[in-house]
């Protein structure tokens, strides 16, 4: 580790003040450089993180190439507790780990992907998606290359993947997810292994056809022709797997068709069969999109009619590996000793969970820090989530067990708990995306609870310092304040790794020795090179193209998903819970 140096006096105060400006915008390059210098001076080592350098667009054409640009400086956020002078000298690291979210290991050749609906739903088709497994593997390589957290220097105790690990809950996608995380040889390919059978060689001008000179709407926007792209994307490669223990949280794409349609088994034959619908007229597409959202049975009937008509229907190679899995099967797959990798066995799931279907659990992150992983999915359909009463009661018991004190619903302080830990919550959905209160088919008579109720519950337990989640594909950090300072907590939402900016996030917890804790959040990019070569199909260049194509996706929402400076590399101050 590099020795940390310290800046003292008025220069530190001025630099910290500048870094606290929302969005990390600077009047000059010199101001930015000063902020970056202060950021590096406060750290153990910034190498390999976005504190050092960040993918930056260049060029004047419609299609932007990426290059290495200046890093993003640390932003100090003191909404929940004031930053005390000299805390770097007193800092004691409590935990250091990494969050992945929304990896979306995707079968791009699946008959149950409706890419022609992209104009209504930007996740239906992405030009980079055939390279998804290589891109995620490059993110794994980045984590493996780092010695630990940039501010505490502590080695990572674990990696948590906060849901939407697969795209369309297919067995093939689950196998790819487990292989990318645990290591092994794999190919992101279904059907005929010798050829690609998806929309990107269809000749349909609505999609990017990378291997042919045929003019399509993507090439009109500057997308390149890349000879051999699809065959290279589907060829086998060796995924190194994480060298760090890893855990899994479930998301809506892990249990639903397209992440939003309840799966009653009506489309199983379509999943594994030999017909793929690649288009329809705009009016019918709009009708199908509405049915997928509101009327699952009607969507099935409409799909059957469209397939029978034979227009824009492609014959593909049937494949049983595309069969959809249940959440119980999802958990069971994690118990296969062949996917244990760096551990732990089951990656959070147990045989009891497989039997009960209750895929929520508590685990230890470090000696003084405990994690709680929730299942916020609702199998009634729709993308958003909620919690059932049984899980809420279980959660509150876990909070009591690990808290030295808490507050009852009337605001009275209660002392108790068998241990006194710092607590972090993990889920797929955010507080703002937990409004799906439809009865869950797993227990139709159980009441569902939304994000507001969960926030209120967490604010009764001062040991809860952060709620870490995904789902929105966006970098966003929210302060949940309270009139009683110790009842506040931070919500840390991290972008996906299928849409740009394709980030993971390092989270470190440190005791400042002054009655406060600091949560350092540092974004990381994959190990792929920033520059791309349209004439190369090497594994490294394919991973680089995965990033660059995602930046240029015309249906993407780069500026919204990227977040602002206060959502990137931050120091989040919070009052330390005390008895």
Q: Is 18 part of any domain? A: no
Q: What is the dihedral of CA 395, 397, 403, 405, to 10 degrees?
A: 120
**Rounded to an integer, what distance in angstroms lies between the CA atom of residue 455 and that of residue 20?**
25
pLDDT at 120: 86
Q: Is 23 part of any domain? A: no
Q: Average of pLDDT values for 563-574?
A: 97
Angle between helices 171-182 and 327-334 (to 10 degrees): 30
What are the structure tokens assigned to 165, written together? Answer: 């690990």
**Rounded to an integer, what distance in angstroms lies between the CA atom of residue 81 and that of residue 480?**
12
pLDDT over 70 (residue 14): no
pLDDT at 24: 53
pLDDT over 80 (residue 295): no
Dihedral class, residue 347 (left if φ above 0, else alpha if ψ from -120 to 50, else beta): left
Of the listed ranges 184-193, 220-229, 410-419, the one predicted with least confidence: 410-419
Over its C-alpha atoms, the chain yields an Rg (Å, rounded) of 24
Q: Is 235 part of any domain? A: yes
DSSP H helices in 66-131: 87-90
pLDDT per residue as tens digits for the range 449-481: 999 999 999 999 999 999 999 999 999 999 999
**Rounded to an integer, what distance in angstroms lies between the CA atom of residue 525 and that of residue 520?**
17
Residues spanned by the domain of 247: 29-117+127-188+206-274+316-575
Residues of 344-370 as b/e, b for ≥16 C-beta within 10 angstroms?
eebbbbeeebbeeebbbbbbebbeebb
Q: Is 280 part of any domain? A: no
β pairing state of 75-77 and 570-575: parallel
pLDDT at 578: 81
**Rounded to an integer, what distance in angstroms lies between the CA atom of residue 101 and that of residue 468?**
10
pLDDT at 453: 98
Contact 229, 549 (CB under 8 A): no
Q: What is the pLDDT confidence band of residue 6, given thresholds at 50, 70 and 90?
A: very low
pLDDT per residue as tens digits for the range 379-406: 887 889 999 999 999 999 999 999 999 9
pLDDT over 70 (residue 554): yes
DSSP assignment letter at 32: H
- What pTM was estimated for this model as a whole? 0.94
What are the structure tokens assigned to 542, written together? Answer: 């394919």
Q: Is 405 part of any domain? A: yes
Give the total residue count for the chain.
579
pLDDT per residue as tens digits for the range 192-229: 999 999 999 999 999 999 999 888 999 999 999 999 99
Instruction: State the DSSP H helix or E strand holding residue 293, giving kind and residue range, or none if neither.
Output: helix 282-294
Query: Between residues 270 and 179, which one has the greater pLDDT?
Result: 179
Q: Is 198 part of any domain? A: no
What are the structure tokens assigned to 22, written together? Answer: 């929302």
Q: Average of pLDDT values for 17-27?
A: 46
Diameter over CA atoms, the chain:
75
Under DSSP, is residue 72 helix (H, G, I), strand (E, B) or coil? Answer: coil
Mean pLDDT of the chain: 92
pLDDT at 96: 98
- Give the burial class of 499: count Cβ atoms within 10 A of its Cβ; 0-12 exposed, 13-18 middle, 19 or more buried: buried
Q: Average of pLDDT values for 118-123?
A: 86
DSSP H helices in 295-388: 296-309, 327-334, 351-356
pLDDT over 70 (residue 10): no
Q: Average of pLDDT values for 509-514?
A: 97
pLDDT over 70 (residue 23): no
Q: Is 285 part of any domain? A: no
pLDDT at 3: 28
Domain count, the chain: 1
Query: Between residues 18 and 207, which one has the greater pLDDT?
Result: 207
Q: What is the dihedral of CA 554, 140, 170, 308, to 10 degrees?
A: 30
Q: What is the pLDDT confidence band of residue 362, given thresholds at 50, 70 and 90?
A: very high
Contact 134, 539 (CB under 8 A): yes
Q: Is 449 part of any domain? A: yes
What are the structure tokens assigned to 53, written together? Answer: 């350098």
pLDDT over 70 (residue 304): yes
The CATH number assigned to the domain holding 37 equals 3.60.21.10
pLDDT at 379: 85
pLDDT at 296: 65
What are the structure tokens assigned to 495, written together? Answer: 């972008």
């Amino acid at each position: 580790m590099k020795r940390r140096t310290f800046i003292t006096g008025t220069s530190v105060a001025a630099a910290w003040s500048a870094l606290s400006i929302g969005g990390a915008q600077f009047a000059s390059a010199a101001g930015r450089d000063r902020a970056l210098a202060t950021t590096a001076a406060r750290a153990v080592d910034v190498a390999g993180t976005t504190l050092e350098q960040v993918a930056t667009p260049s060029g004047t054409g419609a299609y932007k190439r990426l290059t290495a640009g200046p890093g993003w400086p640390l932003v100090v956020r003191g909404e929940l507790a004031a930053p005390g002078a000299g805390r770097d000298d007193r800092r004691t690291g409590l935990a250091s780990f990494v969050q992945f979210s929304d990896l979306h290991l995707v079968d791009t050749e699946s008959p149950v992907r409706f890419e022609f609906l992209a104009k209504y739903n930007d996740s239906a088709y992405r030009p980079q998606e055939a390279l998804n497994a290589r891109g995620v593997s490059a993110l794994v390589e980045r984590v493996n290359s780092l010695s630990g957290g940039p501010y505490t220097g502590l080695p990572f105790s674990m990696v948590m993947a906060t849901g939407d690990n697969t795209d369309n809950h297919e067995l093939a996608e689950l196998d790819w997810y487990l292989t990318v995380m645990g290591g092994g040889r794999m190919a992101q390919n279904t059907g005929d292994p010798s050829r690609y059978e998806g929309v990107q060689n269809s000749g349909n001008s609505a999609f990017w056809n990378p291997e042919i000179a045929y003019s399509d709407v993507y090439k009109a926007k500057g997308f390149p022709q890349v000879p051999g792209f699809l065959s290279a994307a589907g060829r086998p490669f060796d995924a190194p797997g994480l060298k760090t223990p890893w855990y899994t949280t479930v998301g809506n794409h892990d249990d639903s068709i397209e992440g939003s349609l309840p799966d009653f088994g009506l489309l199983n034959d379509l999943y594994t069969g030999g017909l793929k619908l690649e288009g329809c007229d705009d009016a019918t597409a709009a009708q199908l999109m509405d049915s997928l959202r509101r009327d699952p049975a009607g969507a099935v009937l409409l799909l059957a009619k469209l397939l029978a008509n034979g227009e824009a229907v492609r014959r593909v190679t049937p494949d049983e590996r595309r069969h959809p899995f249940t959440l119980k099967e999802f958990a069971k797959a994690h118990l296969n000793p062949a996917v244990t990798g760096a551990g732990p066995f089951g990656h959070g799931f147990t045989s009891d969970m497989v039997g009960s279907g209750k895929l929520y659990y508590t685990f230890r992150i470090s000696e003084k820090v405990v994690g709680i992983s929730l299942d916020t999915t609702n199998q009634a359909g729709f993308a958003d989530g909620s919690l059932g009463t049984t899980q809420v009661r279980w959660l509150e018991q876990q909070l009591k067990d690990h808290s030295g004190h808490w507050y009852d619903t009337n605001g009275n302080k209660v002392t108790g708990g068998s241990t006194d830990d710092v607590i972090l919550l993990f889920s797929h959905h955010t507080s703002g995306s937990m409004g799906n209160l439809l009865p869950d088919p797993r227990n139709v008579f159980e009441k569902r609870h939304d994000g507001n109720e969960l926030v209120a519950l967490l604010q009764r337990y001062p040991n809860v310092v952060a709620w870490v989640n995904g789902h929105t594909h966006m970098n966003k950090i929210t302060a949940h304040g309270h009139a009683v300072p110790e009842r506040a907590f931070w919500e840390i939402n991290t972008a996906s790794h299928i849409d740009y900016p394709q980030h993971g996030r390092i989270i470190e917890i440190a005791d400042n020795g002054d009655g406060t804790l600091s949560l350092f959040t540092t974004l990381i990019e994959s190990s792929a090179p920033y520059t791309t070569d349209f004439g190369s199909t090497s594994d490294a260049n394919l991973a680089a193209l995965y990033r660059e194509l995602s930046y240029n996706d015309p249906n993407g929402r780069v500026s919204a998903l990227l977040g602002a400076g206060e959502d990137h590399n931050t120091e989040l101050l919070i009052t330390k819970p005390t008895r």
